[in-house]
Amino acid sequence: MSLASLLFALLFYVAAAVLVGGLAYRIVGYARTPAPLKIPTTPAPTTGGGVVLRLAREVLLFESLFKGSLWLWGLAWLFHAGLALVLLRHLRYFTEPVGSWLVFLSPFGVYAGFAMAAGLAGLWLRRLWLPPVRYISTPSDHLLLGLLLAIAGSGLALKFGVHTDVVAVKSFFRGLLTLAWEAAAGRPAAVAAPLPGRCADDRVPLQQAAARAGGVLLAVAQPGRRPARPPPPRALGRAPRS
Amino acid sequence: MAAEIKAPALRPLPLAPPLLPGAMAGSRPYVASDKMQQALGFPGELAPDWQPKALAKMGELLGRYRSLRVFLDACVHCGACADKCHYFLGTQDPLNMPVARQDLMRSVYRRHFTLPGKLFPRLVGARELTREVLDQWYTYYNQCSECRRCSVFCPYGIDTAEVTMAAKEIMDSVGLGQKYSNEIIAKVHRIGNNLGLPGPALADTLQGLEEDVKEETGADVRFPLDEAGAEVLLVTPSADFFAEPHVDSLIGYAKVFHAAGIRWTLSSKASEAGNFGLFIGNYEQLRAIALRVREAALELGVKRIVVGECGHAWRVAYSFWNTLVGIGGGGRDPFARQLQQQLDPRYRQPMHICELTWDLIQRGALTLDKDANDHRIVTYHDSCNVARASRMGDLPGGQFTLPRAIIGAVVNRYVEMAPGTTHEQTYCCGGGGGLLTDELLELRVKGALPRMEALRQVADQHGVNFMATICAICKAQFSKVLPYYGFKMGMVGGVHQLVSTAIRLHAQP
Ligand code: HEM
Ligand code: SF4
Ligand code: SF4
């Protein structure tokens, strides 16, 4: 096994571990922190089913953001939907056999790459353009957008510019996933090189963003206090640690 | 406040205004004296080692409230909340953008509590908690009325009010308290209400009201105080006892109880519904103040607890009384259980006065003459804490429909203000969250801008001359700032003020 292959293999494992571990760490941290006072965000649903529905609307449609700013909502949704499809399409490089739903989705994944890049570019322009948003931006906000744009750009370049041996890429990753090192070792590292490198880049923004999503779940998953019919059996707040 | 305070010009279009950095850097409330601080169990003044103490307190709060931790982590700096705050719209100071306000604390959080902030402070905008940063906290966390409007538009539901409360709690814990709020809390404990009205004076006032109403209507409407065995304990903001226009709503409640034949009482021990413990984000104070209501209810042996027209009081009652002190189920200590035995389970506990009145109207128990309000063209201002932090009735959105339904039953001419300025998106009056103090008048006048714009529109187009609301702070704030925008101060009043005008009292059998 060549040194480069070994390096990429290691990077892949580290990135995956940081992503999964960091995410779990954050979510467990949130779940362990008490919430002594019930503070639902308006308009709070009053039933468990209502909470699930609202959560779904917030996560899938960005309902609150829609009310907040139509432009921002459009760009953010374009980017996230694109990202989601692109990630799904990438499953092709990791799964064997490839599911039929995945085969169905794959062609859309290509357009999604463009949607994601366009959304990102729009978000970045907005951040540079609007004085209030420019005022609140930290260098890391710009860096994340730039990094993601570079990832999307290099991905599209691989698809339409420098062609990759997808079969080779796939066997490289299958090898990593099944811990069958020999399979990964024999492949020409040069071909696979761009991909694992990008996985490493991915981990910072993805882990942060995914942890955020986890936070949202915990933050909005609270019904309003009073159920529909009296007399009201109350949600019991956990006593604060003093 | 040397220069004369002027209201900002109304905007032709509701767009985000240009930024004026530092515009409100000089607006700060008076600092609480050391005596006042110590009365609440806080340090008297900033000690030399305040910084490690403040950080320790912040760590404690992060471990105590999940919301704070999530909110400080989650923000993506998208700016959806930026132009949603009335104080930003009115002052144009960029640090009054909700996200910028949060960042005052988030920057410190990142520096002291996160790895990227420790390794690359410049990159992620992390800042050491210095004296300058603390002063910025004091200035700008005292320019947030904790109205939660920003949270409605944030894709993550981040509630700046929570961050503001945490900041105030941290500042109190190192001896940097705000005079107005802390003085009021001390008065509640010492005398029983925010305005410092002692029991005998209260009894006098109530007797005077009985005489006034007798003269006006000929009916023997009572204003009972500390009457054991009454069915209902009414807990209402102390401003209702003598401030204008608040007192007219108190008269309205009394007439409703009288007409429905419900025996009720006020309590001199709990002669205040307001709970400023919420504003300063202090759980212990929040609870101590709420406990007075429980004690009064136990002593008087009442079957129901009803809350008067007060926004944040209703939030505390509706959302927190259950787990705080056991009113409405939740508390598990012996007194909470005793109270739950005592209270009548057929009614909501606690109940808002609007819920009570609306139930009576629906049952046909009140005789109402709408025409009596024909000199008024009415609009309704949703108060933040009712609109965005509580509910009423059985259906979602009851906090919006019930007060409007009552108004619909007592007035003929009603006009809604522009969408986007009412219901869950209502604009704060500009005086909530412990900012209703004279030294912050400039902030209060400017913060009222978006509401005044909406009111100007319905006043010009429909001749609206009365803005009803169900919050004591809104009433006081509007009475003060309406004239700056060319309105009459008497234009604001309570929903039960309208009820009071319309209700017809029969002689009791
Ligand atoms: C409730 C679900 C989510 C909402 C409402 C949401 C919303 C947003 C918004 C409004 C932005 C604005 C960026 C800008 O203006 O620059 C953003 C950025 C971003 N989101 Fe999400 N997001 C969600 C979930 C996710 C998930 C699950 C991921 C990844 C797996 C993700 C990845 C990202 C990334 C990478 C960025 C750009 C980097 C940044 O600015 O932090 N998001 N998100
Ligand atoms: S809670 Fe209200 S006052 Fe505070 S930042 Fe948000 S909108 Fe402004
Ligand atoms: S809307 Fe929410 S996520 Fe966006 S900047 Fe404001 S607080 Fe942060």
Of B324, B354, B384, which residue constitutes the final position of a domain? B354
Clarify whether residues B349 and B384 are in a common domain.
Answer: no
Asked, for residue B47, whether it belongs to a domain, the answer is: yes
Of B328, B354, B380, which residue constitutes the final position of a domain? B354
Asked, for residue B97, whether it belongs to a domain, the answer is: yes
Asked, for residue B292, whether it belongs to a domain, the answer is: yes
Clarify whether residues B305 and B387 are in a common domain.
Answer: no
Contacts of B492 (CB under 8 A, 6+ apart): B245, B381, B466, B467, B468, B469, B474, B475, B478, B479, B482
CA atoms within 13 A on the CB side of A197: 13
Domains held by chain B: number:
3
Asked, for residue B5, whether it belongs to a domain, the answer is: no
Min Cα distance A146 → chain B (Å) is 14
Q: What's the mean pLDDT in A16-31?
A: 88
> In this predicted structure, which of A161-165, B38-42, B341-345, B474-478 has the lowest mean pLDDT?
A161-165
CA distances to B183, B318, B350 from B189, in Å: 10, 22, 22
Residue pair A38/A225 in contact (Cβ under 8 Å)? The answer is yes
A204 phi and psi angles, rounded to 5 deg: -65, -60
| pTM for the predicted model, two decimal places | 0.89
pLDDT digits (tens, 9 = 90+) for A62-80: 999 999 999 999 999 999 9
Closest CA to B309 of B198, B469, B446: B469
How many CB atoms sit inside 10 A of residue B104's CB? 20
**B346: part of which helix (H) or strand (E)?**
none
**Tell me, what's the pLDDT at A223?**
38
Clarify whether residues B307 and B377 are in a common domain.
Answer: no
> What are the beta bridge partners of residue B352?
B307
Contacts of B226 (CB under 8 A, 6+ apart): B265, B266, B267, B268, B269, B300
Contacts of B119 (CB under 8 A, 6+ apart): none
Clarify whether residues B173 and B195 are in a common domain.
Answer: no
What is the percent of chain B where pLDDT is above 90? Answer: 86
- Are residues B82 and A136, on separate chains, in Cβ contact within 8 Å? yes
Asked, for residue B360, whether it belongs to a domain, the answer is: no
- Are residues A212 and B283, on separate chains, in Cβ contact within 8 Å? no
How much is the mean pLDDT over chain B? 94
Clarify whether residues B290 and B396 are in a common domain.
Answer: no
Regarding the beta carbon of B148 and ligand 2, being less than 6 Å apart is answered: yes
Domain hosting B104: range is: 34-177
Domains in chain A with CATH codes = 3-227 (1.20.950.20)
Ligand 3, atom nearest to B79 Cα: 5
Ligand nearest to the CA of B82: 3
Query: In this predicted model, which residue has the larger pLDDT, A29 or A197?
Result: A29
Clarify whether residues B384 and B281 are in a common domain.
Answer: no
Asked, for residue B219, whether it belongs to a domain, the answer is: yes
Clarify whether residues B332 and B220 are in a common domain.
Answer: yes
**Tell me, what's the pLDDT at A179?**
62
Closest CA to B69 of B110, B128, B17: B110
**Tell me, what's the pLDDT at A105?**
78
**Tell me, what's the pLDDT at B29?**
97
Residue pair B126/B107 in contact (Cβ under 8 Å)? The answer is yes
Clarify whether residues B285 and B218 are in a common domain.
Answer: yes
Ligand 2 centre distance from Cα of residue B141 (Å):
10
Clarify whether residues B132 and B230 are in a common domain.
Answer: no
Clarify whether residues B386 and B480 are in a common domain.
Answer: yes
Q: Does residue A61 carry a pLDDT above 90?
A: yes
Residues 366-405 of B with CB under 8 A from A: 387-389, 391, 394-397
Residues 74-133 of A with CB under 8 A from B: 76, 130-133
CATH number, domain containing residue B155: 1.10.1060
Give the residue on A whose Cα is nearest the Cα of B287.
Answer: A37
Which tokens hold the place of A110?
């290509």
Give the residue on A whose Cα is nearest the Cα of B318.
Answer: A225
* Pick among B70, B71, B278, B351 to test the A interface (most A CBs inside 10 A): B70
Asked, for residue B222, whether it belongs to a domain, the answer is: yes
CA dihedral A157, A159, A165, A170 (to 10 degrees): 110
Regarding the beta carbon of B85 and ligand 2, being less than 6 Å apart is answered: yes
Question: What's the one-letter identity of residue B316?
Answer: V
Clarify whether residues B349 and B369 are in a common domain.
Answer: no
Min Cα distance B300 → chain A (Å) is 23
The most distant pair of C-alpha atoms in chain B lies apart, rounded to whole Å, by 79
- Are residues A130 and B99, on separate chains, in Cβ contact within 8 Å? no
Clarify whether residues B206 and B72 are in a common domain.
Answer: no
Q: Which residue has the tokens 């000690």?
A: B47
* Pick among B65, B66, B304, B339 to test the A interface (most A CBs inside 10 A): B66
Q: What's the mean pLDDT in B91-111?
A: 97
- Are residues B157 and A220, on separate chains, in Cβ contact within 8 Å? yes
Asked, for residue B21, whether it belongs to a domain, the answer is: no
ipTM: 0.89
- Are residues B78 and A133, on separate chains, in Cβ contact within 8 Å? yes
> In this predicted structure, which of A7-21, B110-124, B130-144, B341-355 has the lowest mean pLDDT?
A7-21
Closest CA to B489 of B475, B504, B509, B500: B475
- CA–CA separation, B321 and B329 (whole Å): 9
- CA–CA separation, B456 and B450 (whole Å): 10
Regarding the beta carbon of A98 and ligand 1, being less than 6 Å apart is answered: no
CATH number, domain containing residue B369: 3.40.50
- Bond from prior residue into B224 cis (ω within 30 degrees of 0): no
B362 phi and psi angles, rounded to 5 deg: -65, -35
Ligand 1 centre distance from Cα of residue A210 (Å):
8
Of B295, B329, B354, which residue constitutes the final position of a domain? B354
